Amino acid sequence: DAGVIQSPRHEVTEMGQEVTLRCKPISGHNSLFWYRQTMMRGLELLIYFNNNVPIDDSGMPEDRFSAKMPNASFSTLKIQPSEPRDSAVYFCASSWSPPGQYTGELFFGEGSRLTVL
Amino acid sequence: TQLLEQSPQFLSIQEGENLTVYCNSSSVFSSLQWYRQEPGEGPVLLVTVVTGGEVKKLKRLTFQFGDARKDSSLHITAAQPGDTGLYLCAGGTAAGNKLTFGGGTRVLVKP
Protein backbone atom coordinates (compact mmCIF):
# COMPACT_ATOMS: atom_id res chain seq x y z
CA ASP A 1 0.00 0.00 0.00
CA ALA A 2 1.22 3.51 -0.76
CA GLY A 3 2.03 5.64 2.23
CA VAL A 4 1.70 9.40 2.50
CA ILE A 5 3.09 10.97 -0.64
CA GLN A 6 4.63 14.42 -0.62
CA SER A 7 6.00 16.54 -3.44
CA PRO A 8 8.39 18.00 -4.18
CA ARG A 9 11.07 16.25 -2.10
CA HIS A 10 13.40 19.19 -2.47
CA GLU A 11 12.71 22.81 -3.40
CA VAL A 12 15.18 25.64 -3.68
CA THR A 13 13.73 29.05 -4.33
CA GLU A 14 14.51 32.70 -3.94
CA MET A 15 13.09 35.00 -1.33
CA GLY A 16 9.76 36.42 -2.41
CA GLN A 17 8.74 33.50 -4.57
CA GLU A 18 5.62 31.44 -4.01
CA VAL A 19 6.08 27.88 -2.79
CA THR A 20 3.44 25.15 -2.96
CA LEU A 21 3.90 21.83 -1.19
CA ARG A 22 1.60 18.94 -1.93
CA CYS A 23 0.41 15.93 0.00
CA LYS A 24 -1.63 12.84 -0.73
CA PRO A 25 -2.72 11.13 2.51
CA ILE A 26 -3.33 7.44 3.01
CA SER A 27 -6.71 6.43 1.66
CA GLY A 28 -9.32 6.07 4.39
CA HIS A 29 -7.58 8.30 6.92
CA ASN A 30 -9.72 11.08 8.36
CA SER A 31 -7.07 13.45 9.68
CA LEU A 32 -4.23 15.27 7.94
CA PHE A 33 -1.45 17.23 9.57
CA TRP A 34 1.22 19.64 8.32
CA TYR A 35 4.38 19.85 10.45
CA ARG A 36 7.57 21.85 10.04
CA GLN A 37 10.89 20.55 11.36
CA THR A 38 14.05 22.55 12.04
CA MET A 39 17.05 21.89 14.23
CA MET A 40 16.24 24.87 16.43
CA ARG A 41 12.51 24.36 16.94
CA GLY A 42 12.03 20.64 16.36
CA LEU A 43 8.75 19.35 14.93
CA GLU A 44 6.06 22.02 15.00
CA LEU A 45 2.41 21.46 14.12
CA LEU A 46 1.28 24.06 11.60
CA ILE A 47 -2.30 23.00 10.91
CA TYR A 48 -4.47 19.92 10.94
CA PHE A 49 -7.65 18.89 9.17
CA ASN A 50 -10.33 16.46 10.23
CA ASN A 51 -12.60 15.18 7.46
CA ASN A 52 -11.14 17.88 5.16
CA VAL A 53 -12.08 20.70 7.57
CA PRO A 54 -9.31 22.80 9.17
CA ILE A 55 -9.57 22.27 12.92
CA ASP A 56 -6.56 24.06 14.36
CA ASP A 57 -4.34 26.46 12.44
CA SER A 58 -2.84 28.15 15.49
CA GLY A 59 0.60 26.93 14.48
CA MET A 60 0.60 28.69 11.12
CA PRO A 61 3.36 31.30 11.49
CA GLU A 62 1.67 34.20 9.74
CA ASP A 63 -0.55 35.21 6.87
CA ARG A 64 2.10 34.19 4.37
CA PHE A 65 1.18 30.57 5.08
CA SER A 66 -2.04 28.98 3.91
CA ALA A 67 -3.26 25.39 3.65
CA LYS A 68 -6.15 23.79 1.85
CA MET A 69 -7.70 20.36 1.66
CA PRO A 70 -10.19 20.40 -1.22
CA ASN A 71 -10.90 16.67 -0.91
CA ALA A 72 -9.95 13.64 1.15
CA SER A 73 -7.03 12.71 -1.07
CA PHE A 74 -5.16 15.98 -1.50
CA SER A 75 -3.81 18.89 0.51
CA THR A 76 -1.52 21.84 -0.20
CA LEU A 77 0.58 24.12 1.95
CA LYS A 78 1.42 27.42 0.30
CA ILE A 79 3.93 30.07 1.33
CA GLN A 80 3.65 33.43 -0.38
CA PRO A 81 5.96 35.29 -0.31
CA SER A 82 8.67 32.95 0.96
CA GLU A 83 11.47 34.13 3.25
CA PRO A 84 14.83 32.56 4.20
CA ARG A 85 13.52 31.80 7.71
CA ASP A 86 10.94 29.48 6.13
CA SER A 87 13.74 27.07 5.21
CA ALA A 88 12.90 23.75 6.87
CA VAL A 89 11.63 20.25 6.20
CA TYR A 90 7.86 20.23 5.89
CA PHE A 91 6.10 16.98 6.74
CA CYS A 92 2.61 15.89 5.94
CA ALA A 93 1.07 13.13 8.05
CA SER A 94 -2.28 11.38 8.08
CA SER A 95 -4.10 9.23 10.60
CA TRP A 96 -7.33 7.47 11.39
CA SER A 97 -8.59 8.74 14.72
CA PRO A 98 -11.95 7.47 15.99
CA PRO A 99 -14.04 10.38 17.28
CA GLY A 100 -13.68 10.95 21.01
CA GLN A 101 -10.80 8.53 21.38
CA TYR A 102 -7.09 9.09 21.66
CA THR A 103 -5.12 10.23 18.67
CA GLY A 104 -4.35 7.49 16.23
CA GLU A 105 -0.93 6.67 14.81
CA LEU A 106 0.47 9.33 12.52
CA PHE A 107 1.86 8.13 9.22
CA PHE A 108 4.39 10.62 7.89
CA GLY A 109 5.51 11.31 4.37
CA GLU A 110 9.19 11.59 3.54
CA GLY A 111 9.04 15.38 3.80
CA SER A 112 9.70 18.32 1.52
CA ARG A 113 13.01 20.05 2.15
CA LEU A 114 12.60 23.76 1.42
CA THR A 115 15.52 26.13 1.02
CA VAL A 116 14.77 29.81 0.52
CA LEU A 117 17.78 31.81 -0.59
CA THR B 1 0.02 25.46 25.39
CA GLN B 2 1.04 21.93 26.29
CA LEU B 3 4.79 21.40 26.19
CA LEU B 4 6.81 18.21 26.20
CA GLU B 5 10.44 18.34 27.23
CA GLN B 6 12.79 15.52 26.33
CA SER B 7 16.09 14.74 27.96
CA PRO B 8 18.84 14.33 27.19
CA GLN B 9 18.96 16.15 23.85
CA PHE B 10 21.82 13.99 22.65
CA LEU B 11 23.16 10.62 23.76
CA SER B 12 26.20 8.79 22.45
CA ILE B 13 26.88 5.27 23.73
CA GLN B 14 28.74 2.12 22.79
CA GLU B 15 27.01 -0.92 21.39
CA GLY B 16 25.77 -3.14 24.21
CA GLU B 17 25.15 -0.35 26.71
CA ASN B 18 21.73 0.60 28.07
CA LEU B 19 20.10 3.99 27.72
CA THR B 20 17.01 5.83 28.94
CA VAL B 21 15.26 8.78 27.32
CA TYR B 22 12.81 10.92 29.27
CA CYS B 23 9.75 12.88 28.22
CA ASN B 24 8.20 15.28 30.75
CA SER B 25 5.34 17.73 30.86
CA SER B 26 3.32 19.73 33.36
CA SER B 27 0.18 18.80 31.43
CA VAL B 28 -1.85 15.61 31.45
CA PHE B 29 -2.12 13.72 28.18
CA SER B 30 -4.72 11.16 27.19
CA SER B 31 -2.10 9.26 25.22
CA LEU B 32 1.62 9.29 24.67
CA GLN B 33 3.33 8.09 21.54
CA TRP B 34 6.99 7.42 20.82
CA TYR B 35 8.41 7.76 17.32
CA ARG B 36 11.84 7.13 15.80
CA GLN B 37 13.09 9.18 12.89
CA GLU B 38 16.02 8.33 10.65
CA PRO B 39 17.82 10.85 8.42
CA GLY B 40 15.86 11.81 5.32
CA GLU B 41 12.69 10.10 6.49
CA GLY B 42 9.58 10.92 8.46
CA PRO B 43 9.04 9.70 12.03
CA VAL B 44 7.73 6.17 12.46
CA LEU B 45 5.57 5.10 15.39
CA LEU B 46 7.13 2.74 17.93
CA VAL B 47 4.40 2.54 20.57
CA THR B 48 1.31 4.21 22.03
CA VAL B 49 0.58 4.21 25.77
CA VAL B 50 -2.76 5.39 27.13
CA THR B 51 -3.09 4.21 30.74
CA GLY B 52 -1.26 5.79 33.67
CA GLY B 53 1.45 3.42 34.89
CA GLU B 54 1.33 1.40 31.70
CA VAL B 55 4.49 -0.43 30.64
CA LYS B 56 4.96 -1.79 27.13
CA LYS B 57 7.85 -3.80 25.78
CA LEU B 58 8.97 -4.01 22.18
CA LYS B 59 11.91 -6.41 21.99
CA ARG B 60 14.77 -4.51 23.69
CA LEU B 61 12.71 -1.32 24.12
CA THR B 62 10.64 -0.68 27.24
CA PHE B 63 8.17 2.20 27.38
CA GLN B 64 6.51 3.51 30.54
CA PHE B 65 3.74 6.05 30.99
CA GLY B 66 3.77 7.88 34.31
CA ASP B 67 0.98 7.28 36.80
CA ALA B 68 -0.25 10.86 36.39
CA ARG B 69 0.04 10.65 32.58
CA LYS B 70 2.40 13.64 32.52
CA ASP B 71 5.66 11.85 31.77
CA SER B 72 7.09 8.86 29.96
CA SER B 73 10.37 7.06 29.50
CA LEU B 74 11.96 4.88 26.88
CA HIS B 75 14.62 2.40 27.94
CA ILE B 76 16.76 0.50 25.46
CA THR B 77 18.64 -2.57 26.67
CA ALA B 78 21.87 -3.64 24.97
CA ALA B 79 21.70 -0.93 22.33
CA GLN B 80 22.73 -1.74 18.78
CA PRO B 81 23.90 0.55 15.95
CA GLY B 82 20.50 0.05 14.33
CA ASP B 83 18.93 1.90 17.28
CA THR B 84 20.62 5.10 16.14
CA GLY B 85 18.11 7.82 15.35
CA LEU B 86 16.02 10.69 16.64
CA TYR B 87 13.52 9.59 19.27
CA LEU B 88 10.43 11.76 19.63
CA CYS B 89 7.66 11.62 22.18
CA ALA B 90 4.25 13.06 21.32
CA GLY B 91 1.31 13.76 23.58
CA GLY B 92 -2.30 13.57 22.49
CA THR B 93 -5.45 14.99 24.04
CA ALA B 94 -8.90 13.51 24.13
CA ALA B 95 -10.36 16.79 22.94
CA GLY B 96 -9.08 16.39 19.44
CA ASN B 97 -6.56 14.74 17.20
CA LYS B 98 -3.77 17.17 17.94
CA LEU B 99 -0.36 15.69 18.78
CA THR B 100 2.30 17.82 20.44
CA PHE B 101 5.87 16.65 19.91
CA GLY B 102 8.82 16.96 22.24
CA GLY B 103 12.12 18.36 21.00
CA GLY B 104 13.58 14.90 20.47
CA THR B 105 16.59 12.96 21.71
CA ARG B 106 19.26 12.16 19.18
CA VAL B 107 20.79 8.73 19.96
CA LEU B 108 24.04 7.52 18.47
CA VAL B 109 25.09 3.92 19.12
CA LYS B 110 28.68 3.30 18.13
CA PRO B 111 29.81 -0.19 17.12
Q: What is the pLDDT of residues B74-101, one digit of tens each?
A: 999 999 999 999 999 999 876 666 788 9
Amino acid identity for residue B59 in this structure: K
Reply yes or no: is the peptide bond before residue A70 cis, omega within 30 of 0: no
- For residue A3, give the chain B residue with the closest CA: B42
What is the mean predicted confidence (pLDDT) over B29-53? 93
- Determine contact: A42 vs chain B, CB below 8 A: yes
Q: Which residue of A has its CA nearest to B91?
A: A103
When pLDDT is cut at 50, 70 and 90, the band that residue B33 belongs to is very high
Q: Minimal Cα distance from B36: which residue of A?
A: A108
Distance set, CA A49 to CA A81, A112, B22, B26 (Å): 23, 19, 30, 27
Chain-wide mean pLDDT for chain A? 93
In whole angstroms, what is the distance from residue B100 CA to residue A43 CA? 9
Specify whether the CB–CB gap between B84 and B72 falls below 8 A. Answer: no
> Are A110 and B42 a contacting pair at CB < 8 A?
yes
Q: DSSP strand E in chain B: where?
A: 5-7, 10-14, 19-24, 31-37, 44-49, 55-58, 61-65, 71-76, 85-92, 99-101, 105-110
Q: Between chains, do B44 and A108 touch, taking CB under 8 Å as contact? A: yes
Q: Which chain A residues are Cβ-neighbours of B90 within 8 angstroms?
A: 106
The average pLDDT across A32-49 equals 93
How is residue B5 annotated by DSSP? E
Residue contact A105–B33, C-beta within 8 A: yes
Q: Taking residues A81-91, what's their average pLDDT?
A: 97
User: Quick one: average pLDDT of A27-47?
Assistant: 93
DSSP helix/strand/coil, B6:
strand
Task: State whether B45 and A104 contact (CB < 8 Å).
Answer: no
Interface test with B, best of A47, A94, A105, A106 (most B CBs within 10 A): A106
pLDDT level of residue A10 (50, 70, 90 thresholds): very high
> Which residues have CB under 8 Å from A106's CB, separation 6+?
A33, A93, A94, A95, B33, B35, B43, B45, B90, B99
Cβ proximity of A82 and A16 under 8 Å: yes
**Neighboring chain A residues of B92 at a CB cutoff of 8 Å:** 102-103
Name the DSSP letter for residue B9.
S
DSSP β-bridge partners for residue B107:
B11, B85
Chain A touched by B86 (CB under 8 Å): no
**For residue B54, is pLDDT > 70?**
yes
Q: Which residues contact B59 (CB under 8 A, 6 or more apart)?
A: none
Q: Is the peptide bond before B111 cis (omega within 30 degrees of 0)?
A: no
Q: Are B90 and B5 in contact (CB under 8 A)?
A: no
Residues 6 or more apart whose Cβ sits within 8 Å of residue B47: B33, B34, B56, B58, B61, B63
pLDDT of residue A98: 76
Mean pLDDT over residues A53-81, rounded? 94
